[in-house]
Structure 1
Amino acid sequence: MERSVFGGGGVAQSDSISVSAIVAQTVKGSHVLKIDGYSRVKASAGSGKFISSGEFVVGGITWDIRYYPNGCTPKTSGWIGIVLHLKHNHATGVEASYAFSLLDGAGEPVPSYSSGKGTARTFKCADTGFGCRRFIMRKALEGSAYLKDDCFSVRCDVTVSTTAVRIPRSVAVPPPDMHKHIGRLLESQVGTDVTFQVGEETFAAHRLVLAARSPVFMAQLFGPMKERSTGHVRIDDMDPRVFRAMLHFIYTDSLPDMDSGDDARAMAQHLLVAADRYDMERLKLTCEDRLCDNINTGTAATTLVLAELHGSRGLKEACFEFLKSPGNLKATMDCDEFQHLTNSCPSLLSELLANVAP
């Protein structure tokens, strides 16, 4: 791992047929960019202006990172932008994927501030760049623990695609399918050793699977609680459909198929609450991601309250960004749901106004 800091097929000829294959391979590398003197750097570069990191090499290709302290464009001036750039021309282009992550004090990625997600791009010539133009809002960073002593760090993970010619082996390894096998345990009910009474429905499950996926279930089923001895848990404040969907995620690491529209949004909201209750971070972020795609004038107020009550920082910031439009803010305030926001989270109202004020 490198770091930078700134302050301011061939065919065989023979009597028989031979076989070869062109196989895609990848080379991975990471670069940590430390912004030392965040305030000074922010003051020195206007919107659309960037500061480049030191150069680094991954897969034999030279790269750098461009840091936009006041946004890549005037429309994103309230955001910090991070873009990966190719430094030299390549005749055939370079296929690579990237991911950016904000690092915490221990140097570990912050899940809610990771972007790029390994999207493959073709970098064709020098100065070709791809990245995240809305990486993190400046206000969010400045109010977080990740900006310490006027410094913070971002890691860029780069994967460069290459090709190689080789004779294929006779054994083909299929993609991972553990989730399918664990999912069949839930379907077959073989070996279940705990039951849940949720409303009028009963669900059978496996203690070890639940405990492995949720620290709350670990304490509930293997800690000094009565459910450990009885093997039966009653849940009175959750819809059976929500519990069934949560079980599906626990066993398969994916959400079940859900209809689009209001029902799907409501299910995502209820699942986010359940994920927060059982400390299932991946499920919670999955629900946040779905809800971010369904923010409108009719849902923004209730979504903002949900994000506030359950510590969903990314979802909360998405709502603030939507409400920065005067038209969206006015239409949202005219909805009945906005009264729920003022009644249930009055402190959120002042924070909302502070974030959307021009």
Structure 2
Amino acid sequence: MRAEVRAGGGACTRPTSEAASGEDRGAPVGKRLDYEQTKHIDTGEAIHSDAFSAGGYMWRLDCYTYGDGECDDDDYLSVFVELLTEFTSVNAIFEVFLMDKDGQPCLQDTHWSCFHLFNRDKNAGTGWSQFISRSDLEEYCLTEGHITLICAIIVIRDIPSPVLGSIPFPDSDIGKHLGALLDSTDGVDVSFTIDSETFHAHRVVLAARSPVFKAELLGSMAEATLSSITLQDITPATFRLMLQFMYTDALPELGDSPTETLQHLLAAADRYALDRLKHLCAQKLWDNVSVDRVATILACAEMYSCLELKNKCLDFFAAEKNFKKAVLTEGFVKLVQQFPSIIVELREKAGT
């Protein structure tokens, strides 16, 4: 659920540079959007930025190229800021603006700020259904088929009483500490051998994060009595990334082949029932979808039961201009060979 604030109305104003006490500023985050590639997207379908941190909370930017579908706004770009951190509420000032063709903040009506109480359970996001008309966007902000949105967030803390004051406390650093624990050999009590590489870990950490590891390492299975376990059907690189996620709860750097790496990591997440990692991989794969990759990503979604990612890929395929190109890729040939029934679903989506 989200609230809408019309550009130029309500609590939204032009941004100011004045700072207030009790606030945490996040570094501005840029979202470069391939505008031409989004023309297949339906009204109400969003393109999401990567999650980013500001003021100790996680956020993302949601862009609807053909409006968010809440009102008659399909001639407008809709932009919303969404709080991702669960079980919390926070007051924040945020501002969003577009860059023009010269790489400067656009002087059209594309630069707005707003104060809002974000509540993850009731009202996770807010923004503008009519942020900018597509005609103005294409005239002033479209550069080589791309547009760039900048978002900055200031979290407003409760201002302490001048008499009682408050005791400052740092942001959570459990991920940093557990990550350091993984990098050391302190307290390790199990190791995994994959090919010629060995990885050391802590049974209780793995068991707390994965029900599969819990059954293997703390249950009645044979692995529970072993100090060294040999793993098959997973590469050292993928296992390393999975371990980093399990200790830090953050998606690691993916290297030079992110799409291929994400597919392997999603397979590992499915194998060890790491649902959050599986969703993060699925979202990242969707963020990088293209006519060249969609068949491969769809096969991955079908193989590992990622229903939402599968449906998005089918919708992408259903667009005629995408279908004509995607069916000529090697990935499509492999998709049909591996999952012949997918042709029926594609025809149903395309209405043929």
TM-score by length of structure 2 reads 0.58
Which residue of the other structure, out of 159, 184, 188, is the alignment partner of 1:188? 184
Question: 1:223 — aligned with what?
Answer: 219
Q: SS of the counterpart of 1:247?
A: helix
Which residue number in structure 1 is paired with residue 13 of structure 2? none
Note the C-alpha offset of 1:233: 1.4
Alpha-carbon distance between aligned partners in 2 of 1:305 and 1:237, rounded to the nearest angstrom:
18
Query: Equivalent residue of 2:22, what SS?
Result: strand
1:274-313 correspondence to structure 2 within 5 Å: 274-313=268-307
Residue deviations 1:34-81, cap 9 Å, x none?
Answer: xxxxxxxxxxxxx99xxxxxxxxxxxxxxxxxxx998756979xxxxx
Specify whether residues 329 and 162 from structure 1 end up closer, same or farther in structure 2 by C-alpha distance, changes over 3 A only.
same
Per-residue CA distance 1:156-180 (angstroms, 9 max, x = gap): xxxx979656337363200001111
Paired position in structure 1 for 2:22: 23
Distance 1:99 1:129 in 2: 20
Q: Is the 8 A contact 2:295 2:326 kept in 1?
A: yes
- The question of 1:166 aligning with 2:187 is answered no
Deviates further, 314-323 or 163-172? 163-172
Q: Which amino acid aligns with 2:117?
A: A
- The answer to whether the aligner puts 1:96 opposite 2:112 as a matched pair is no
Indicate the residue corresponding to 1:111 in structure 2: none
Quote the offset at 1:313 in angstroms. Answer: 1.4
Q: SS of the residue aligned with 2:281?
A: helix
How far off is 1:97 after superposition? 3.1
Distance 2:69 2:267 in 1: 34
- Cα distance change, pair 73–246 in 1 and its aligned pair in 2 (3 A): farther
Superposed displacement of residue 231, structure 1 = 1.9
Whose RCO is larger (CA < 8 A, sep 6+)? 2
Tell me whether 1:264 sits opposite 2:258 in the alignment. yes
Bigger Cα Rg: 1
Matched to 2:172, the amino acid is P
SS at match of 1:166: coil
Q: SS of 1:195's equivalent?
A: strand
Residues 263 and 281 of structure 2 are in contact (CA less than 8 Å); yes or no, is this contact kept in structure 1? yes
The superposition leaves residues 298-332 of structure 1 with CA deviations (integer Å, 9 ceiling, x where unpaired) of: 11111111101111112112212221221111101
Q: 1:331 to 1:69 in 2, by over 3 A?
A: closer
Q: Distance in 2 between matches of 1:267 and 1:254?
A: 15
Matched, 1:177 2:173: yes
Residue type at the aligned position of 1:96:
L
Query: Which residue pairs with 1:42 in the alignment?
Result: none
Identify the residue that residue 326 of structure 1 maps to in structure 2: 320
What secondary structure sits across from 1:248 in the alignment? Answer: helix
Tell me whether 1:252 sits opposite 2:252 in the alignment. Answer: no
* Structure 2 CA distance for partners of 1:165 and 1:129, relative to 1, 3 Å: farther
Shift of 1:22: 4.1
Cα pair 2:160 2:166 within 8 Å, conserved: no
| 1:75-224 to 2 correspondences below 5 Å | 94-97=115-118, 118-119=124-125, 121=127, 164=159, 166-167=161-162, 169=165, 171-224=167-220
Q: Is the 8 A contact 2:175 2:248 kept in 1?
A: yes
Aligned pair partner of 2:228 in 225, 228, 232: 232
- Residue identity in the other structure for 1:180: K
* Cα distance in 1, alignment partners of residues 184 and 239 from structure 2: 18
Distance in 2 between residues matched to 1:280 and 1:173, nearest whole Å: 31
Identical positions, percent: 35
- 2:310 corresponds, among 311, 316, 319, to 316
- More deviation in 317-326 or 163-172? 163-172
Residues 169 and 299 (structure 1), Cα distance of their counterparts in 2 relative to 1, 3 Å cut: same
- SS for the counterpart of 2:285 is helix
Tell me the TM-score normalized by structure 1. 0.58
Shift, 1:258, TM fit: 2.5
User: How many residues were matched structurally?
Assistant: 233
CA–CA distance in 2 between the matches of 1:343 and 1:73? 43
Distance 1:99 1:332, change over 3 A: farther
Measured in 1, the distance between the counterparts of 2:204 and 2:158 equals 42
Q: Work out the CA distance in 2 between the residues paired with 1:289 and 1:354.
A: 24
Q: 1:95 deviation in Å?
A: 1.9
RMSD: 3.4
Task: Specify the code of the residue in structure 1 equivalent to 2:306.
Answer: S
Structure 1: gaps (5+ residues): 1-20, 26-46, 49-67, 77-82, 84-91, 102-115, 122-127, 131-159
Which of 334, 339, 350 lines up with 1:340 in the alignment?
Answer: 334
Task: Summarize deviations over 1:64-110 as a string: whole Å, max 9, x none.
Answer: xxxx998756979xxxxxx9xxxxxxxx9642336589xxxxxxxxx
Q: Is the 8 A contact 2:210 2:273 kept in 1?
A: yes
Structure 1 distance, partners of 2:125, 2:114, is: 16
Conserved in 1, the CA contact under 8 Å of 2:73 and 2:129?
no
